[in-house]
A = this chain, B = another copy of it.
Amino acid sequence: MEGVTLLSSRVSHFSLRVKIALLLKGIEHDDLPQDLRNKGQLLLESNPIHKKVPVLIHNGKPIVESVIIVQYIDEVWRGESPLLPPDASLRAEYRFWTDFIDKKLLDCLMRFMRGDAKNEEFIENCELLEGAFTKLGNEEEGPFFGGARMSFLDVMLAPYAVWIPGIVGVMGLKPASQEQCPRLHNFFQSVLAHPAAKLALPTVEALKEFLVARSAVYRGK
């Protein structure tokens, strides 16, 4: 199989990262949306251990796990807009906060949806991310960690621009206020207005519909 194919699902925050990265880099690709309740042969063969989306198939070779795929994309299509910065210590910071998003922010949101995490824990995580913006971002250059353009870390966080309002709308999560987290707030607004992210992300309304349909599953876990 020649070229680039993305096996994804419409709302998966992990899939959305990869879709945004492909669009940011302007990489031509085919989309193969997957039915996760009835997994197809190609998905099972491409990711036999985890059996999950996203999978990027590049010239017949499957790459799996969103963080690994986005790094791969950045290494293969380095081009004029690298996602990871050249400075090793800043790369380490970007990787640290990516890990934070996956281990703390996501984990806390998943537990909240199951009725198993306090709203304060989510606010604390947002405040830590606000601190990351203050430490790593340059407000004068733009709203993203990468300044005026989206970097690796921006891609990692971007799907939450629709996921958080979705969980707010459907499950009653109270978001951090603009006063508590001005940079994070500005980041999410800028993601929703960004051409590549706008094209990749589902609308908040679509995400809410998904969450309403799934809420029984989340609550039942």
Contacts and interface: CB of A to CB of B under 8 A. Distances in A.
A69 B72 CA distance: 19
A79 to B, nearest CB: 13
Interface in A44-59: 49, 58
Contacts of A160: none
B95 A68 contact: yes
Interface stretch (A19-27, A86-94, A166-174): A86-94
B88 A75 contact: yes
A1 B64 CA distance: 39
Contact of A65 (B75, B99, B104): B99
**Which DSSP category, helix, strand, loop or mixed, fits chain A's interface?**
helix
28 contacts: A49-B100, A49-B104, A49-B128, A58-B89, A61-B89, A63-B89, A63-B92, A63-B96, A64-B96, A65-B95, A65-B96, A65-B99, A67-B95, A68-B92, A68-B95, A68-B96, A68-B99, A69-B92, A71-B91, A71-B92, A71-B95, A72-B88, A72-B89, A72-B91, A72-B92, A75-B88, A75-B91, A76-B88
